[in-house]
Amino acid sequence: MVSTNRHIIDKSLVAPFKSRQEHRKNIELEEARKAGLVPAEVDKNGKEINPHIPKYVADTPWYIKTEEGPSLEHQRKPESNVNGKKKSQYDRGAKLFQALTYRKGACTNCGSMKHDAKSCTERTRKVGAKWTGKYIAPDEMIETLALLSYDEKRDRWNGYNPSSYAHVIKRYELHQEARNKYLKEERIQKLEDETDDIRVDEAKADESKQTDFAKVEKRVRTTGGGSTGTVRNLRIREDTAKYLRNLDVNSAHYDPKSRSMRENPNPDADPNEQFYVGDNVWRNTGQALEFGQMNIHALEAFERGQDVHMQAAPSQAEFLYKNYKAIKERLTSQTNCTILEKYGNAASGEELPKELLLGQSERDVEYDRSGRIIKGKEEAVPRSKYAEDVSINNHTCVWGSWWKGHQWGYKCCKQFMRNSYCTGAAGVEAAIHLLEP
């Protein structure tokens, strides 16, 4: 048996065969149309087709079935035709009919005829509309626009009306207006409580709307729009300007852009009468000192090999600085507790031992004429942190306890070689025999 594979081919998708002469005539006709010698080609709607359009643009794709003849309809945006009108957007939220009672075949949850209970988007009711017959939802408008483009079919904002969000904006505006009114009344009430002898008139209270000198705004210098910092909008009117405190041109420098004067404009004046002493005073108070110490800690840690940088990772640098302070405080407290446990606390009022106050003790030691101890124990000699009186290789003395002939050696066996094995009395006799002439 011989099996054959048969394929069914749609003849409408296959281009018609053209001979060499017909192909050559078509090329000559296209060149004549481009040169203007022959009128342009006309589509089925009577519109001329530009002969300079590329072939891959003018030809209809194989997957689009159109009537025979040249056309550019596949390059135009398709539009839906609903009730004789061109339409390309959905009517979002459009309702068709509002029923008063439940109808057979409607959604058992809300009562709408356009969907079933599985497709219902309303909150699931405890008792559905089918059994209560109340609060029937209106029927929605369901449209099927078949001639939409690929992007229009997947546009989730298709048919959205921005004016439907206006009530939300209105609600927030009313909330903000009420909040501003409450804050204004609170400021006026606080001002009246502080000034018991002075009555606040309504004109001054109305000026509280304009006292927004503390408002912080961005200051932009660069052409690209980058902000270089923040400044206050206005200063308090009652405050004297910094550049008016000393009119001498050689006094403290004033920067008009940042509105700062770092040095004291009147350094020779009485400190008790000076109200402004320069901006540098505030740089050495508050969190400025802590920030400087944290920056120094980051630099020292980076020099010791830790991967920390204050500008690149400020959060990491702050975390390491907090850990450093906690560990330092814990070690300091442990050291203090150890010292107090050993020597006591003089500020606590407890009576200290006499040996600590006078450097003396009641220990009694009695010696004979030769210096030997008869009674009591001699005071122990304090030892260093290094190993002492450690004998190796059967030695009873350390190396360097004997000196002879400009050489160091062991006193127990009279040997000059270091780390040698001790031979005892035999070694002493051998050394004496070697030293005899």
> What was the pLDDT predicted at 2?
45
145 vs 263, higher pLDDT = 263
* Inter-helix orientation angle 314-343/287-303, to 10°: 90
User: 0.75 cut: is pTM over it?
Assistant: no
Judged against a pLDDT cut of 90, whether residue 47 lies above it is answered with no
Band (pLDDT 50/70/90 cuts) for residue 127 is very high
Judged against a pLDDT cut of 70, whether residue 224 lies above it is answered with no
d(CA 191, CA 188): 5
Q: Give per-residue pLDDT as tens, 100-120.
A: 999 999 999 999 998 999 999
> What was the pLDDT predicted at 8?
52
d(CA 235, CA 259): 10
What residues have CB less than 8 Å from 321, skipping those under 6 apart? 293, 294, 297, 298
d(CA 285, CA 214): 22
Judged against a pLDDT cut of 50, whether residue 161 lies above it is answered with yes
Judged against a pLDDT cut of 50, whether residue 123 lies above it is answered with yes
Number of residues assigned to the chain: 437
> What was the pLDDT predicted at 376?
78
> What was the pLDDT predicted at 12?
55
> What was the pLDDT predicted at 225?
47
> What was the pLDDT predicted at 308?
87
Give the Å distances, CA to CA, from 46 to 30, 57, 58, 70, 151. Answer: 19, 19, 16, 11, 30
Band (pLDDT 50/70/90 cuts) for residue 377 is confident
Burial grade of 109 (CB within 10 A; 0-12, 13-18, 19 or more): buried
How many Cβ atoms from other residues are within 10 Å of residue 316's Cβ? Answer: 15
Report residue 388 CA to chain centroid gap.
59
Report the largest interatomic distance among the alpha carbons of the chain, rounded to a whole angstrom: 147
What residues have CB less than 8 Å from 274, skipping those under 6 apart? 264, 266
d(CA 373, CA 283): 70
What residues have CB less than 8 Å from 246, skipping those under 6 apart? 252, 265, 266
Mean pLDDT of the 207-225 span: 49
Mean pLDDT of the 144-164 span: 77
> What was the pLDDT predicted at 355?
61
Instruction: Confirm if 12 and 65 have CB atoms less than 8 A apart.
Output: yes
Strands 216-220 and 85-87: unpaired
> What was the pLDDT predicted at 285?
77
Give the Å distances, CA to CA, from 301 to 59, 287, 309, 310, 320. Answer: 71, 21, 9, 11, 9
How many Cβ atoms from other residues are within 10 Å of residue 308's Cβ? Answer: 18
> What was the pLDDT predicted at 426?
59
In the chain, domain spans: 20-75, 95-140, 170-209, 212-285, 289-338, 395-437
Instruction: Confirm if 252 and 265 have CB atoms less than 8 A apart.
Output: yes
Judged against a pLDDT cut of 50, whether residue 4 lies above it is answered with no
> What was the pLDDT predicted at 213?
47
> What was the pLDDT predicted at 386?
79
To 10 degrees, the CA torsion angle through 352, 356, 358, 359? 170
Mean pLDDT of the 405-417 span: 88
DSSP string, 119-169: T--SPPPSS-HHHH--SPPPPBP----TT--HHHHT-TTTT--GGGGHHHH
Judged against a pLDDT cut of 60, whether residue 300 lies above it is answered with yes
For 36-112, list the strands marked E by DSSP. 41-42, 48-49, 80-82, 85-87
d(CA 232, CA 215): 6
